[in-house]
Amino acid sequence: MWKKNPTPRLARAILGLAAPIAVAAAAAQPAAATQQPPLMDRQREISLALSACPASVAAQAAVYVLETGGYVKLRDSRNGFTAIVQHALATSQEPQCMDAEGTRTLLPRILKVAQWRAEGKSREEIKHLVADGFARGTFQAPTRPGIDYMLSTENVVAIDEDKGTSAPFPPHVMFYAPYLTNADIGSDGNPRGPVFIPNGGSPHALIIVPLAAHGGPGHGPADKSSAATQQPPAIDGGCHE
């Protein structure tokens, strides 16, 4: 989702943050041999995608689901938002609800990567194709401020694509920040802090703000005993990109 090549400290911090979350194992999960994530039950995938959205957005957002050849659109957007479960790794699931700017700029890359995977292209081939797409202008970074909601309590994010590891992460919101770095916003890059930027300095950079559990349909019960309902705890030191 938002971390391609984290530093060891950042990876350890994310895993430490994920440890108490009840919805998945605390330890990072190794990726399966195949790049293709298993297909979900369609209604389950629709619900998971929409659980990323605020209640005020979900009913009118476009919805995509993954099939063997890539993503297919189930309904059009009536408010500019798009709900989709991205899979940066076969073992990760990253429900997202992106606004019109994200739909214009981020979504085409997500859809194309899924298509390339279905065609059997390797991770390295896809990495080069994505870089070439940005160089040619086929893919674009966001050009205005905007938001990508990840309010689901079932986020399992890729923390190191090279090692094929993923781990749970609390509900959060992401603001487009292409080419911005943690230093630009005064952050130490610690994912347990109030705000941080993964992939700093790249067109994929996002300002991430972890949240307490989001109430409303599709977002799980407000159980204060679950780590997903708590603000991420602070840690000493911090991590740097």
Determine, yes or no, domain membership for 108: yes
Strands 156-160 and 70-75: unpaired
CA-nearest of 20, 74, 19 to 49 is 74
Q: Taking residues 152-181, report their average pLDDT.
A: 91
78 vs 76: CA distance, rounded Å: 7
pLDDT for the residue 104 = 97
What's the whole-model pTM score?
0.76
**Alpha-helix runs per DSSP H in the chain:** 8-18, 42-50, 55-58, 100-105, 107-118, 123-136
Secondary structure (3-state) at 70: strand
CA-nearest of 193, 196, 187, 197 to 231 is 193
Q: Taking residues 17-28, report their average pLDDT.
A: 42
Given a cut of 60, whether residue 154 has pLDDT beyond it is: yes
| pLDDT band at 121; cut points 50, 70, 90 | very high
Determine, yes or no, domain membership for 235: no
| pLDDT band at 192; cut points 50, 70, 90 | confident
Determine, yes or no, domain membership for 1: no
Determine, yes or no, domain membership for 240: no
Rounded to 5°, the CA angle 5-209-186 comes to 75
Determine, yes or no, domain membership for 95: yes
pLDDT for the residue 206 = 93
Determine, yes or no, domain membership for 165: yes
Count the neighbouring beta carbons within 10 Å of the beta carbon of residue 183: 14
Residue span of the structural domain in which 204 resides: 8-229
Given a cut of 70, whether residue 222 has pLDDT beyond it is: no
DSSP 53: S
| pLDDT band at 199; cut points 50, 70, 90 | confident
Query: What residues contact 186, with CB distance under 8 A and at least 6 apart?
Result: none
- With tokens 């094929």, the residue in question is 164
Chain-centroid distance, C-alpha 59? 21
pLDDT for the residue 10 = 53
Decide if 49 contacts 65 (C-beta within 8 A).
yes
Domain count, the chain: 1
pLDDT by residue (tens digit) across 49-64?
A: 999 999 999 999 999 9
Given a cut of 90, whether residue 5 has pLDDT beyond it is: no
Q: Taking residues 209-237, report their average pLDDT.
A: 46
